[in-house]
Chains A and B, each alone.
Chain A
Amino acid sequence: MSSTFETVAGIISETADIPREKITPESHAIDDLGIDSLAFLDIAFAIDKAFGIKLPLEQWTQEVNEGKTPAEEYFVIRNLVSRIDALVAAKAA
């Protein structure tokens, strides 16, 4: 997996106190790792700082709550990593 995954997994492990080996690309942040919304804000802060981006969490949450997008699109780690890569690329463009 990418270095982005390694960074994100490290952030989640440290911020949410989850053993690093439990975090895989297929892990669902909420269902599998038990990360609640407050802890996810801590993770978002660390990700924002590490990658110099702004994760659009409010937009994602709204889309999920309105049923427009399945939660897996944002909260399965592999998908989260893809979105971070896209935000980093968009920032660099």
Chain B
Amino acid sequence: MRLEYFEMIDRVAEIDPDARRIVARSTVPGASPVFEGHFPDHPLVPGVLLTETMAQASGYLILALTGYVAMPFLMAVDRARFRDFVGPGTTLEIEARLEHEGSGYMATRASIAVGSRRIADAELRFRTMPFPAGLSERMKDQARRIGLPIEVVA
């Protein structure tokens, strides 16, 4: 996980096309400029970055299930809850499920756990749009980096 580069997912652990579900893992870095301000001498991952982590897991799930035909852009966050603090060095398990495949949008439900402890959850929606020039290949490179299949799995 590189907070400053918004690389929130380290590795895809599991993807199940039948259940329309992805599980990913990420370890919060031991040090980051983010922690200098959030908060001084009491480093915590901001809730907005936990939301981004759930959004990226959801986005990779959508890309894999749809064969990378369109780019999912986060458009709505509902019922977000941050149930516990996350500090440096913590390994997160992120899960996302596709709840609804709409026309031009997708809805997911995502959560973050540390061990058996649930840390955060939210309902997310994404607008799916044609890839801006060059982004498709960049997203596939990112997907390969985290071990996500490029082939259509749905």
The answer for the CA separation of A48 and B103 in the assembled complex, in Å, is: 10
Which residue of chain B has its CB nearest to the CB of A49? B100
Q: Residue B105 contacts which of A45, A49, A56, A59 (CB distance < 8 angstroms)?
A: A45
Judging by beta carbons under 8 Å apart, are B103 and A44 in contact? yes
CB 8 Å contact bits of A19-41 with B (1 = contact, 0 = none): 00000000000000000001001
Q: Residue A48 contacts which of B75, B76, B102, B127 (CB distance < 8 angstroms)?
A: B102
Judging by beta carbons under 8 Å apart, are B104 and A41 in contact? yes
State whether the Cβ of A57 lies closer than 8 Å to any Cβ in chain B.
yes
Residue from B76, B100, B101, B105 whose CB has the most chain A CB atoms within 10 Å: B105
Judging by beta carbons under 8 Å apart, are A41 and B105 in contact? yes
State whether the Cβ of A69 lies closer than 8 Å to any Cβ in chain B.
no
The answer for the CA separation of A75 and B127 in the assembled complex, in Å, is: 19
Which residues of chain B from 48 to 94 have a CB within 8 Å of any chain A CB? 75-76
Main secondary structure of the interface of A (DSSP, over half): helix
The answer for the CA separation of A56 and B105 in the assembled complex, in Å, is: 11
Query: In the assembled complex, how far is the CB of residue B144 from the closest CB belonging to chain A, in whole angstroms?
Result: 28
State whether the Cβ of A42 lies closer than 8 Å to any Cβ in chain B.
yes
Main secondary structure of the interface of B (DSSP, over half): strand
Judging by beta carbons under 8 Å apart, are A57 and B100 in contact? no
Judging by beta carbons under 8 Å apart, are A57 and B102 in contact? yes
Q: With A38-B75, A38-B127 given, is the CB distance from A44 to B105 under 8 Å?
A: yes
Judging by beta carbons under 8 Å apart, are B100 and A59 in contact? no
State whether the Cβ of A58 lies closer than 8 Å to any Cβ in chain B.
yes
Query: In the assembled complex, how far is the CB of residue A12 from the closest CB belonging to chain B, in whole angstroms?
Result: 16
CB 8 Å contact bits of A44-69 with B (1 = contact, 0 = none): 11001100001111110100000000
A-B pairs with beta carbons under 8 Å apart, 22 shown: A38-B75, A38-B127, A41-B75, A41-B102, A41-B104, A41-B105, A41-B125, A41-B127, A42-B76, A44-B102, A45-B100, A45-B105, A45-B125, A48-B100, A48-B102, A49-B100, A54-B101, A54-B102, A55-B103, A57-B103, A58-B103, A59-B103
A residues neighboring B (CB under 8 Å): 38, 41-42, 44-45, 48-49, 54-59, 61
